[in-house]
């Protein structure tokens, strides 16, 4: 099992976390102007969640939905292909 899959599994069990999959990394890339590692994206969004006083899981879901529906072209990251 990969690390992103494991993190997502623990999130489903109720552990607040950021699942730094391609969409989350792409979102952070669009915000920073450079592609972060998964770990950097995770840590940045955990810090943002703390500042916003929301759970890491809630922010992860919001970022994922936004990035997935907006698409990589509009985010300006080029991290993923058109199909996924």
pLDDT tens digits along 19-44: 888 889 989 998 898 999 999 999 99
User: Across residues 55-80, what is the average pLDDT?
Assistant: 81
**Residue pointed to by tokens 């990394």:** 25
Examine the pLDDT at 76 and tell me if it is beyond 70.
no
pTM to 2 decimal places? 0.78
**Exposure string (b/e) for 25-34, b if CB count within 10 Å is 16 or more?**
bbbbbbbeee
Residue 42 exposure: Cα atoms within 13 Å on the Cβ side? 13
With cut-offs at 50, 70 and 90, classify the pLDDT of residue 6: confident
* Token pair recorded at residue 39: 């770990």
Examine the pLDDT at 68 and tell me if it is beyond 60.
yes
pLDDT of residue 53: 97
């Amino acid at each position: 099992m990969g690390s992103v899959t494991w993190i997502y599994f623990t999130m489903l069990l109720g552990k607040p976390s950021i699942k730094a999959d391609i969409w989350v990394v792409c979102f952070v890339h669009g915000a920073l102007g450079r592609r972060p590692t998964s770990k950097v994206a995770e840590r940045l969004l955990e810090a943002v969640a703390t500042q916003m006083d929301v759970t890491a899981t809630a922010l992860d879901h919001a970022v994922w939905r936004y990035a997935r529906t907006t698409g990589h072209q509009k985010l300006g990251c080029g991290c993923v292909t058109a199909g996924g």
